[in-house]
Structure 1
């Protein structure tokens, strides 16, 4: 651009795009600085599948209704109350108006996936997944005149008192600077910086896999925190799920998630169970398993199921390990065979009447006299062939971030920064103190992206 834009948006995922589109529609000249090359644009958003949405009746692909209080209760259960209620309720209430807005900006929806997800009432699924959503928004942004620079790595956001005066970035070996009226940070967490993860978690973090983009390294986040911008969240808290241990180090995405845990027993490298696999339906519990596995020796777990459970969950991207006996399965998985046999025998003995088994809802089919118990879907593992998966901790995004107010505005101490806003994963720690609720990251990004875009445009237009 020959002149500085009105607004610079740092990041290229859902939150950044919602902000850029909203600002452009308000008449602002917008530049997006996306660290990834074009083929990998979109941050973690390209790996997403759905958006959790409040609604008072059927809405788009969503059936029945999902009210504010039920939504908030679901959030409280997974966060253990560690949330900013005002911002959480703002995100929840605003989600209902987001769905038609998304449709009007090119996003298409499909009926929800069936099986262990059980989300037809609460989560709207994107037709073509997150990559399709990201591409739709980029098309919309282009029509609105938004300029996108790829491979644009922001190195410094310069603060002068209570305002941003300059954004420095590089493309290849070339350095650039822009001095916009407004800046929106939507560049995610720091999870792709393994050294930072290890500083927060300890050496165990080097065994973690990163489900999403390798470009979310927290460079802008660290730069702003170093300058005294108010932070929120715990660096050891993150959206971490148990994923297939054969997944790649980066960018494995949603397909590496395993949905078999409720119908299994999960053991550590010593073939010992360590948690209740049937505690709740999977969308409300899948996000705790990353931390559970992280606490085990070598940060690894192993799922054991039998033939009767194989078709009860979403198929895995890598086929399970298969064996005719438990001892053979143990050998293939590097587990002590006698100990696995004993663990399964103990579990089977604790199972009772299974006639009430129901795979898609809490069925109360539980063990008795077993520690830890299995409180639902507890059926003996007896039917050959037997199947196994290895589990590793897969980090989606970290919760340490920039603290914002209802207008998505950042501050230094008690003083708002007049022209700096944040949206998406980089501020999600304001609402997600711990735990995760399926589809809620997209809700936060969409709601606060739109708020940030509106506020940044109003500021730019006034100056």
Structure 2
């Protein structure tokens, strides 16, 4: 494909070309530049929307063997590993998982060097002060710090450039085809890093994977993760890993926008009450485990319900125990009135609540531990934090499936090199972030782990690309 000669010449000739503009891409670009490479970063979004899904993040899960200024106690390798085995159900590459965990211990000092600031460790009901380092100002502040560092170091950043094809010759990437506005052009470098996300913003691809139910999904993050280069790598013979229906999927407020609802659209009170479907029936244990370990299963659970919608119901005892929501709860003085306002079958919801209340066993409620408050005698038990719904007013939130990122991706080795179906691997092509997260996340999720994968593999990919370009 022939592109505009002037643009091709202007943007070609760099040592390393990074495709993407979020955490993984920025970590790759910064690391490659630190290694002495000249670096070009192509971000498909306008500058105001730069950063991809990373803008909506808050923290990074990291191993540490002793307390730090931002983390309490210790979070050793084996505990981290077992936590991830549990949430993934063993659907992970154990070697790469341990690789990420071990490398995570080095992340926060490096991040600080590039301007990222952290807030003191959190207490309360999030249970994350020991396992996760929180960014001061959230993901947007992190992204801005990295872009500022990139500018200072001399990384060239071009916005609104969509890479639409990868041209390979002799097992190596020869050049990329890109588009800005109505102009298509070729761009080449000595080595390349793909850190351009999954396909969660591609509504047609979601429907291809899920069927018509995907029409009821909401996208928590950027609208720019269309999976264009993932599809191209599939066509080019890359070895692919993951199930297209698996991803980081969360129950979010059904009133959230189609794109970029972010963390603010999440509803975190599930473990403090009950969840019913549109038929007014419970369908899963709301108290299975601590919320940071289990919140990401609820997107898939809601996706499996009639109409892909559910409703979280709490009473006044839960108020103040979970992250405030952007959209106000539907409120009523009786369960029947609340069901009517939520347009649910009133008699069935009342029956569900009455049966649940009768099944709650005596116990000592403590949301900071897996307490002994449970139900007994129900078809779907609640194993922890079960309290009667008996203190008015009552509150309800409509829930939809919110997709954060998808797990279908390219296979990589521990050096972030992309593996091909024929067993070969290109010596100048690397991947980081969501486009390869499925190597480690076959299913499930734990808070902050996507940022861990992106940070660790972004740095690995940047180092590898710089060496390949030397």
Q: Output the CA distance in 1 between the equivalents of 2:324 and 2:464.
A: 43
The answer on whether the counterparts of 2:12 and 2:188 sit within 8 Å (CA) in structure 1 is: no
Structure 1: runs of 5 or more not aligned: none
Q: Output the CA distance in 2 between the equivalents of 1:111 and 1:363.
A: 27
Q: Output the CA distance in 2 between the equivalents of 1:119 and 1:151.
A: 36
Q: Which residue of 2 aligns with 1:120?
A: 129
What per-residue deviation string (whole Å, max 9, x for no partner) do you get for residues 85-135 of structure 1? 111000000001111011111100002343331100000000000000000
Secondary structure of the structure 2 residue equivalent to 1:44: helix
- 1:350 to 1:3, Cα distance in 2 relative to 1, 3 A: closer
Q: Output the CA distance in 1 between the equivalents of 2:175 and 2:337.
A: 62
Q: Which residue of 2 aligns with 1:370?
A: 378
* Aligned with residue 431 of structure 1, among 428, 431, 440: 440
Q: Output the CA distance in 2 between the equivalents of 1:2 and 1:48.
A: 31
Q: Which residue of 1 aligns with 2:85?
A: 76
What per-residue deviation string (whole Å, max 9, x for no partner) do you get for residues 415-446 of structure 1? 01110000001000000010011100000000
- Report the count of equivalent residues: 460
Matched, 1:326 2:320: no
The answer on whether the counterparts of 1:116 and 1:259 sit within 8 Å (CA) in structure 2 is: no
Q: Output the CA distance in 1 between the equivalents of 2:320 and 2:152.
A: 45
Q: Which residue of 1 aligns with 2:15?
A: 6
Matched, 1:111 2:106: no
The answer on whether the counterparts of 1:256 and 1:316 sit within 8 Å (CA) in structure 2 is: yes
Q: Which residue of 2 aligns with 1:393?
A: 401
Alignment of 1:236-315 (within 5 A): 236-315=245-324
Q: Output the CA distance in 1 between the equivalents of 2:91 and 2:42.
A: 32
Q: Output the CA distance in 1 between the equivalents of 2:42 and 2:125.
A: 38
Q: Which residue of 1 aligns with 2:74?
A: 65
Q: Which residue of 2 aligns with 1:421?
A: 430
Secondary structure of the structure 2 residue equivalent to 1:184: strand
* Aligned with residue 221 of structure 1, among 208, 230, 233: 230
Q: Which residue of 2 aligns with 1:168?
A: 177
Q: Output the CA distance in 2 between the equivalents of 1:233 and 1:256.
A: 27
Q: Output the CA distance in 2 between the equivalents of 1:422 and 1:239.
A: 19
- 1:225 to 1:3, Cα distance in 2 relative to 1, 3 A: closer
Q: Output the CA distance in 2 between the equivalents of 1:395 and 1:115.
A: 26
Q: Output the CA distance in 1 between the equivalents of 2:457 and 2:361.
A: 48
Secondary structure of the structure 2 residue equivalent to 1:102: helix
* Aligned with residue 40 of structure 1, among 8, 24, 49: 49
Secondary structure of the structure 1 residue equivalent to 2:103: helix
Q: Which residue of 1 aligns with 2:215?
A: 206
Q: How much has 1:59 moved relative to structure 2?
A: 2.3
Q: Which residue of 2 aligns with 1:411?
A: 419
Q: Output the CA distance in 2 between the equivalents of 1:358 and 1:252.
A: 31
User: Runs of 4+ in structure 1 displaced over 4 angstroms?
Assistant: none
Secondary structure of the structure 2 residue equivalent to 1:181: strand
What per-residue deviation string (whole Å, max 9, x for no partner) do you get for residues 376-430 of structure 1? 1111101111100011000000000011001000122210111000000100000
Q: How much has 1:314 moved relative to structure 2?
A: 1.1
Q: Output the CA distance in 2 between the equivalents of 1:254 and 1:322.
A: 23
Matched, 1:359 2:378: no
Q: Output the CA distance in 1 between the equivalents of 2:441 and 2:220.
A: 18
- 1:190 to 1:353, Cα distance in 2 relative to 1, 3 A: same
The answer on whether the counterparts of 1:209 and 1:250 sit within 8 Å (CA) in structure 2 is: yes
The answer on whether the counterparts of 1:213 and 1:251 sit within 8 Å (CA) in structure 2 is: yes
- 1:2 to 1:11, Cα distance in 2 relative to 1, 3 A: closer
Q: Output the CA distance in 1 between the equivalents of 2:153 and 2:314.
A: 52
Secondary structure of the structure 2 residue equivalent to 1:302: strand
Q: Which residue of 1 aligns with 2:464?
A: 455
Query: Normalized against structure 2, the TM-score is what?
Result: 0.97
* Aligned with residue 197 of structure 1, among 202, 206, 221: 206
Q: Output the CA distance in 2 between the equivalents of 1:112 and 1:177.
A: 47
The answer on whether the counterparts of 2:252 and 2:402 sit within 8 Å (CA) in structure 1 is: yes
The answer on whether the counterparts of 1:402 and 1:426 sit within 8 Å (CA) in structure 2 is: yes
Q: Output the CA distance in 2 between the equivalents of 1:326 and 1:447.
A: 48
Matched, 1:402 2:382: no
Structure 2: runs of 5 or more not aligned: 1-9
